Structure 1
Amino acid sequence: MIDIADLTRRRIIDPECIPNAWRTRQRAPRPSDGRLLLIAADHPARGALTVRGEPRMADRRDLLRRLAIALARPGVDGVLATPDILEDLLLVGLLDGKQVIGSMNRGGLQGSSFELDDRFTAYDVTTIVTHNLDGGKMLTRVALDDPGSAATLEASGAAVTALAAAGKLALVEPFLSERRDRHRVENLLDPDSVIRSIAIAAALGATSAYTWLKLPVVGEMERVLAATTLPTLLLGGDPAGHADTTYASWAAALAIPPAAGLVVGRALLYPPDDDVAAAVDIAADLVHGAI
């Protein structure tokens, strides 16, 4: 059980405990099978709080409880989140022996008039290196009718280059996107759009040596994944439909090179039956085989 009152107290009286804890954190080697299962929890920073239409991620205490359950399960390699969440997990010792990926650009707030302005408002490369995180993740949405996409591409390319220079993983999450109305941006999830986004994302930065992709599971995944040789983690998204159907789609996609694992948040943290441990165990088995 995470003591929320103690977390707040420590932040009040000893903020230096956070950088101190980063310095002493026990890092983890990359899994020997080369595959990763990461739990994603960077949605709230973009104002994306809903799961199946309900604002369930608004309760930070409950979110941390679910993350604690997930990170304790065998086969879970690490977590992807923003500084506020990672530092809570850090202070209670849940990041020892885990891969830690810092979420970088959270400025495109869901439903805002500036949603496609994906500015870097969370982690920067300097902090990722200073705190010895394992990498950084960037959302890279491209809207062909939005001039702001040029700045997003430039910033993502610079982050890829800087992370690679430090030997850190650059996890790029590309989408071709369209604004349907003033308050709704839609990512295009047809195979051809995802393939086009892959081609754009793979070329970002001065080197792709440390670049991994984070991609949705869509139709025709064999053709989609044939678009790249970069290691690819499959994302879960806001869960919809029957969980068994979702797991089956993940299993089929994971069998296709270059799929190298999963990075999933809401579908594992808020499963339909609310059994976080069981959902995470299924995902771990899909990624790493029998644990």
Structure 2
Amino acid sequence: MTAPATLALPALTTSGPITEAQFDRLRRDRLEDPERLGRVLAERQRRPVVRGDGRLMIVAADHPARGALGIGTDPMAMGDRYDLLQRLATALARPGVDGVLGTPDIIDDLALLGLLDDKIVVGSMNRGGLRGAAFEMDDRYTAYDVPAMVRAGVDFAKVLVRFDLDDPDTVVTMEATAKAVDAAAAAKLPIMLEPFLSRRVNGRVVNDLSTDAVIASIAIAAGLGGSSAYTWMKLPVVEDMARVMAATTLPTLLLGGEPAGDPDAAFVTWRNTLALPGVHGLTVGRSLLYPHDGDVVAAVDAAADLVHG
């Protein structure tokens, strides 16, 4: 995969797996039969979170609910829900893709479209810290909560927890996260924490991706809640990942981030990091759903091969 000169998004190169008739049924269900969603979720064919080689390839699509719609030079790339669903359907159909991470609206769409059988469903919990908002660090739990995930048969929970030592709202998010970890442990629901040390630079929240900062964020996050029995980590790939992974015994998935730079270099970095003890797979969204060349199949297949190959 070779990066073009710009980050402008080409058209999706695979034909859409979802037909207009299926989208029409989805809209009619939303309008006329909202109770069908509960029936579909209850009848969904579920799978163990860990099976086979013990590694996971999860496609992430929880960005829109935080108002983060941009990819590269297109600030509204993820604003077209039908296009996003087509990309997710393409990804979920590929061998080696274990599941999807999303907010309830996206998970519900995918369920109604019949795309979640034998897939791990990861529910995104906190979306209150909208990107660019004055209250961004007060990241309240405004999407899934644990009882809702248990009712819907969600298999895994995910939270973002950023620590800004200059922002008093951080402790509000920490307390809410500790309660979420406790609730997940009580429900025997795995929960992955995505921690960062963060600060505001010219009014914008920026995550510190230095090795020491990532290690410190892991230490803080791992101590949240009364039990770590069901806690996982979701971590960025930074310099000296061997030191980073030495900071925790918790099972860890790697995150992808926004597409930038040379995708080949990103894949090499993922490959090297996946070989470290404690790393059990990838949770990647925009880099695979919106690749530079538009070829979702090739991007997803390459990532799944890194995880399972």
TM-score (norm 2): 0.92
- Structure 2 counterpart of 1:161, which letter? D
SS at 2:265 equivalent: helix
Structure 2 equivalent of residue 83 of structure 1: 104
Structure 2 equivalent of residue 40 of structure 1: 60
Larger relative CO (CA 8 A, sep 6+): 1 or 2? Answer: 2
Does residue 255 (structure 1) correspond to residue 304 (structure 2)? The answer is no
Q: Which deviations, in whole Å up to 9, do the C-alpha atoms of 1:29-81 show, x marking residues without a partner?
A: 22211111100000000000011131211111110000000000000000000
Does residue 102 (structure 1) correspond to residue 126 (structure 2)? The answer is no
Does residue 173 (structure 1) correspond to residue 217 (structure 2)? The answer is no
Structure 2 equivalent of residue 122 of structure 1: 143
Structure 2 equivalent of residue 156 of structure 1: 177
- The correspondence of residues 1-291 of structure 1 with structure 2, limited to 5 A, is 1-2=17-18, 3-29=22-48, 30-54=50-74, 55-182=76-203, 184-289=204-309
Cα distance in structure 2, aligned partners of 1:108 and 1:6: 33
Q: Which deviations, in whole Å up to 9, do the C-alpha atoms of 1:198-241 show, x marking residues without a partner?
A: 00111111111111100000111111111001011000000111
SS at 1:164 equivalent: helix
Contact 1:217 1:249 (8 Å CA) reproduced: yes
- Structure 1 counterpart of 2:114, which letter? G
Cα distance in structure 2, aligned partners of 1:53 and 1:38: 25
SS at 2:224 equivalent: coil
Give the number of aligned pairs.
288
Contact 1:107 1:121 (8 Å CA) reproduced: yes
Unaligned runs of 5+ in 1: none
Shift of 1:148: 0.8
Cα distance in structure 2, aligned partners of 1:145 and 1:186: 13
Runs of 4+ in structure 1 off by over 4 angstroms are: none
SS at 2:37 equivalent: helix
Shift of 1:242: 1.1
Cα distance in structure 1, aligned partners of 2:115 and 2:129: 29
- Structure 1 counterpart of 2:111, which letter? L
RMSD (CA atoms): 0.9
Shift of 1:181: 2.5
Shift of 1:279: 0.6
- Structure 1 counterpart of 2:296, which letter? V
